[in-house]
Structure 1
Amino acid sequence: MKTIISFLKDYISWNSLPKIGFTDIIEILILTFVIYSVIVWVKQTRAWILVKGLIVLLILWLFASILNLSVILWIFYKCLNVGIIAVIIVFQPEFRKALEQLGQNHLVTPLFNFNDSKDKGDRFSEKTVSDIVKATFELAKAKTGALIVIEKELSLMEFEKTGIAIDSLVSSQLLINIFEHNTPLHDGAVIIKGNRVAAATCYLPLSDNMHLSKELGTRHRAGIGVSEITDCLTIIVSEETGKVSIATGGSLIRNVDGDYLRNKILSLQNKAPDTKKIKLWKGRSKSEREAD
C-alpha cells in the first residue's frame, strides 16, 4: 500500500504544473503576439511559399530519421548552414520591408522621435495646399497624367537623387508645366518637401501587391509602391480617365474630389479637417473606392 501511495505522489508531483508568475504571463503574451505577427506577415509575402517548402523538407527529414537514412541525413546537415544564408539573401526585400513597417509602427515611432522640429510649425502654407489642389484638378481636366509625392516624416532623399533637382517654391503653374506633354520633366514623379518642389522626373518603386486591380497602370503602382515603404502622400492623376487618386500607407483611394484632397494634405501637418463641408462626405461615400 505504501508503495502505491508513494508511486501516486511521485506521479502527481511529476505531472504537476510549474509555478507561473506575473513575468511568465507577460512573456507568454509577448511571444504569442510576436509569433502571430510573424505568421500574418509571412502569409502576406512570398515567404509563405518558402514556409510550405520548409514543411515538406521537415517531413522528409523526419521520415529519414525514423528509417535511419544516413546519406539523406548527412546531406541535410551539410546544407543547413548554406540554406539559412540563401534564404536571407533571396528574401532580403521581404525582411527589409518588415523592419521598415516595424519602424513606422505608431507604438514604436514616439519612442525614437528625436526630431520635433517638424512639429513646431505647419509643414505647408495655405498657398501651397491651394496650388497643389488647383494644379491637380487642372491636370485632371486636361487628362494629363501626373504623379506628385508629398513628403511627411520619412525622408525621400533616395528617390530625389533619381530625378532632376528643382528646389523651387510650389506653384500651380510650375506643377502644370512640369507634367505638360513633350517637356523634358513630364516623365516620372515630382517630390514636394514642405513649400518647395524638391525634384522632378523621379523614379519610384512599383508595388508588388498582387491584389491590386489589373486596370491600374504603372503610374498608380508607383504611387502605391512608394507609399508602402514611406509615410508620404502620393497624388495620382490618370491620363486615360482624368480621375484623381491618392495613395497612403499602401492603400489607394480612387476618384477623390478637391475638398477631400485638401483635407488629406492638411492632415499631414496635424490640422483638423474642415468638417463644415458636408459635400465632402457625400461625395466620398459615392465615388471613393479603396483598393488594399
Structure 2
Amino acid sequence: MPVGNVNVFDYITEIIDILLVTYVIYKIIMLIRGTKAVQLLKGITVIIAAWFLSSFFELNTLHWILERVVLYGLLAIIIIFQPELRRALEQLGRGRLFARTAVEEEETNKMVEAIIKSSSYMGKRRIGALISIERETGLNDYVETGIPMNAKLTSELLINIFIPNTPLHDGAVILKKDEILAAACYLPLSESPFISKELGTRHRAALGISEVTDSLTLIVSEETGSISLTKNGELHRNLSEEVLRDLLNAELNPAVSKTETSNRFSNWRGKK
C-alpha cells in the first residue's frame, strides 16, 4: 500500500533488515565477550579511526600507511580471530548460534545433576573444590591459565579432578554447558574488604570471578564440607542440595520456573 511515493512494504522490509543486522552484531559481541578478541577489536577500531582522521587532516603519509593496513587487514582479522570464527561456524552448523534448542536444555540438566552429585560427594568427604560455570561472558582468558581438558562432563570426572594430591586438584575447573574446558585454572581474587576472615582462597577466587563476569562459581569447603555459590559478587553459603539445585536451575535453565525457585530460595534464606 503506497503512501505518497513510499511503499509501506519497503518500510517493513527495512525495519526487519535493521533488526536482523542488529541481532547478528549482538550475537557476535556475545561470542567474543570476555576473550582476548575484545582487545584486538579495540585496536582495530583505533586504526580505523586514525585512518579517517589522517584523511580529514590531509596527513598523506600516515593515511597511505593506514590505508595499506586496512586494505590487508581482512586477512589479518581472519587469522587473528580464527578460534572465534571457528566456534561461531560450529554453532551455526549445529543450529545453535541464534536459538536455544532442546539439546541445550538437556545439556544444562545433565550439567546441573553432575555438579549436584559431585559436590554432595565431595562435601561429605571434605574434599575442596572450585567449579566455575561459563555463561554469557566468555572465560577463555582464565581457561588459558589452566590445563585444557575439553572433556565430557561427568560427576565422576569432577570428583577425580579434585582428589587431594593429584596434579589437577589445585585451582578451578571451568565448565561450559556439559563440557569441562580446563582444570587447575587461576581465577582473580576479590579485593573486597567485607569478606569474612574465615573464608579462604577458594572463596575469594569465586567472589573475584563473579565480580568481573556473569559466571556462577561453586565452592566446596575443605575445612567444613559446606557448599557455597557466588554470582554477581554475592556469596551464598551453606547451601543444601535442594537449594543448590534450585539456584542452578533458576540461573541456567530457562525452562524452569524462576518464580518457584526464587520463592524456595527466599524461604531458605528466611530460615537461616
Task: Give yes or no for contact 1:188–1:202 (8 Å, CA) kept in 2.
Answer: yes
Q: Which has the higher contact order (CA 8 A, sep 6+)?
A: 2
DSSP-derived class of the 1:126 partner: helix
* Deviation per residue, 1:106-162 (Å, 9 max, x gap): xxxxxxxxxx83652336332221111110111111001100000000000000000
Matched residue, 2:223: 240
Matched residue, 1:285: 270
Matched residue, 1:160: 143
The structure with the larger Rg is: 1
Task: Give yes or no for contact 1:263–1:273 (8 Å, CA) kept in 2.
Answer: no
DSSP-derived class of the 1:143 partner: coil
DSSP-derived class of the 2:142 partner: helix
Question: What is the deviation of 1:262?
Answer: 1.5
TM-score under structure 1 normalisation?
A: 0.55
Matched residue, 1:117: 97
Distance 1:273 1:183 in 2: 39
TM-score under structure 2 normalisation?
A: 0.59
Question: What is the deviation of 1:188?
Answer: 0.1
Matched residue, 1:194: 177
* Deviation per residue, 1:229-269 (Å, 9 max, x gap): 00000000111111000000011011111122112222223
Query: Is 1:183–2:160 an aligned residue pair?
Result: no
Distance 1:201 1:118 in 2: 32
Task: Give yes or no for contact 2:108–2:252 (8 Å, CA) kept in 1.
Answer: no
Matched residue, 1:66: none
Query: Is 1:149–2:129 an aligned residue pair?
Result: no
Within 5 Å, give how 1:1-150 maps onto structure 2: 117=97, 119-121=99-101, 122=104, 124-150=107-133
* Deviation per residue, 1:48-94 (Å, 9 max, x gap): xxxxxxxxxxxxxxxxxxxxxxxxxxxxxxxxxxxxxxxxxxxxxxx
Task: Give yes or no for contact 2:109–2:253 (8 Å, CA) kept in 1.
Answer: no
Distance 1:217 1:282, change over 3 A: same
Distance 2:181 2:124 in 1: 25
Distance 2:270 2:246 in 1: 16
Matched residue, 2:232: 249
DSSP-derived class of the 1:231 partner: coil
Matched residue, 1:223: 206
Counterpart of 1:120, as a letter, is: R
Distance 1:184 1:263, change over 3 A: same
Distance 1:286 1:231, change over 3 A: same
Unaligned runs of 5+ in 2: 1-95
Unaligned runs of 5+ in 1: 1-115, 288-292
Task: Give yes or no for contact 2:171–2:184 (8 Å, CA) kept in 1.
Answer: yes
Counterpart of 1:163, as a letter, is: G
Distance 1:189 1:196 in 2: 14
Distance 2:135 2:147 in 1: 20
CA RMSD between the two structures: 2.2
Query: Is 1:171–2:154 an aligned residue pair?
Result: yes
| Count of aligned pairs | 172
Distance 2:262 2:207 in 1: 28
